[in-house]
Amino acid sequence: MCACPARPGRSPEAQEAELRATATGKVVKVVRDRGSGLKENRLGLNRVLTMVSDGSVTVVRVTHEDRLARFGVGWLKRLFAVYGVTVEVLHPKKLGGRDELLEDFVSLVTTFAGRLYGMRSAENRRRLLAESGQCSDEGNVA
């Protein structure tokens, strides 16, 4: 099983090809997510969780840990282990100490900036639709 959501600078196709080329067993399914590894409720991640829990996979392979999840990969690995599933990371992080802390901090800032931008975008779309008369702004509290 391969999980390979989009990674900046690497197309999903290139990630899939790399995972397939290095696979030693049968590839059961390739799962791609369009959303960020920062989001917890992604269709692809939910598919992987279902496959792990129903026993249809024994290994989950990703190019980088953050393709599975930006945070909480350790929890996912522990959960998968309960079901007898291992996680293989083709390119594991080689950070430690200060570098790892800095990367986590940047990820947090990126997460909150993305959410703020998304909220702002949704507010602007609602405002523009209301101004154009395409939707009612009633019931929305600003």
pLDDT computed for residue 47 by the predictor? 93
* Nearest-angstrom CA–CA distance, 71 and 89: 15
Task: Give the pLDDT confidence of 61-72 residue by residue, as tens digits.
Answer: 998 888 888 778
Per-10-residue mean pLDDT, the chain, length 142 = 49 87 87 72 89 94 85 90 95 76 78 72 76 62 46
Hey, what amino acid is at 139? G
Q: Going by DSSP bridges, is the β-strand pair 86-89/2-3 parallel, antiparallel, or unpaired?
A: unpaired
pLDDT computed for residue 39 by the predictor? 67
pLDDT computed for residue 28 by the predictor? 85
Count of Cβ atoms closer than 10 Å to residue 60 Cβ: 22
53: left (phi over 0), alpha (psi -120 to 50) or beta: alpha
Cα–Cα distances (Å) from 18 to 10, 87, 93, 110, in that order, read 11, 16, 17, 27
pLDDT computed for residue 36 by the predictor? 64
pLDDT computed for residue 95 by the predictor? 65
Return the bridge partners of 15, or none: none
